[in-house]
């Protein structure tokens, strides 16, 4: 008895389709693995990061970034609070680095006694909080502020305070929702 064999062109088409499906499946699984291992999703809550990030936007956090280099001034970070709000997660911008002195006077931020330059915000800061006096950061501490300086709970207040290096979970990387605002966050 003779077996029926598909014509050559049909076999090639089936092979190409199978290869395409397998390649697509591999790429999707690889992307999922990369995001799972090196990233995490975080939903912005509140208005403290307006205009950079707004309430209910979803961002991806790069968890691996700070394994290769230290956090830098103006980086947007996700961190776990200690103290009063221990364990609660926040997104804020790094303003002060380890070993520096920070003060807010006359509505402006000074770092090591000099006005902060190239800041994301030039708004007059109404509430200096703890930074009305000079704050000296320890070798493992960062001073963070929300971009909406007059509507942010951040390092100026004892409820958040200075952020320890070990509490930084990663760097804000990409805005993924809503889709019309999709892109890299600066």
Catalytic residue among 63, 65, 92, 155: 92
- What is the distance between the alpha carbons of residues 33 and 50, in angstroms, rounded to a whole number? 31
Is residue 80 part of the annotated active site? The answer reads no
Measuring CA to CA, how many Å separate 154 from each of 54, 91, 158? 16, 10, 8
Which sign does the torsion angle of CA 90, 94, 100, 103 carry?
negative
- What is the distance between the alpha carbons of residues 44 and 140, in angstroms, rounded to a whole number? 26
Catalytic residue among 48, 65, 152, 155: 48
Is residue 186 part of the annotated active site? The answer reads no
Q: Which residues are catalytic?
A: 48, 92
């Amino acid at each position: 008895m003779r077996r029926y064999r598909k014509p050559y062109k049909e076999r090639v088409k089936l092979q190409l389709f199978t290869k395409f499906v397998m390649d697509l499946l591999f790429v999707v699984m690889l992307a999922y693995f990369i995001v799972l291992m090196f990233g995490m999703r975080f939903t912005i809550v509140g208005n403290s990061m307006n205009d950079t990030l707004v309430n209910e936007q979803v961002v991806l956090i790069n968890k691996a970034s700070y394994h290769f280099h230290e956090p830098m001034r103006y980086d947007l970070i996700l961190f776990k609070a200690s103290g009063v709000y221990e364990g609660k997660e926040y997104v804020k911008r790094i303003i002060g680095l380890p070993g520096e002195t920070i003060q807010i006077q006359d509505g402006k931020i000074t770092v090591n006694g000099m006005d902060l330059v190239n800041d994301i915000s030039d708004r007059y800061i109404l509430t200096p909080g703890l930074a009305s006096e000079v704050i000296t950061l320890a070798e493992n501490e960062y001073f963070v502020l929300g971009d909406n300086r007059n509507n942010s709970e951040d390092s100026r207040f004892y409820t958040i305070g200075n952020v320890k290096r070990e509490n930084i979970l990663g760097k804000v990387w990409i805005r993924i929702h809503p889709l019309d605002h999709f892109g890299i966050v600066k």
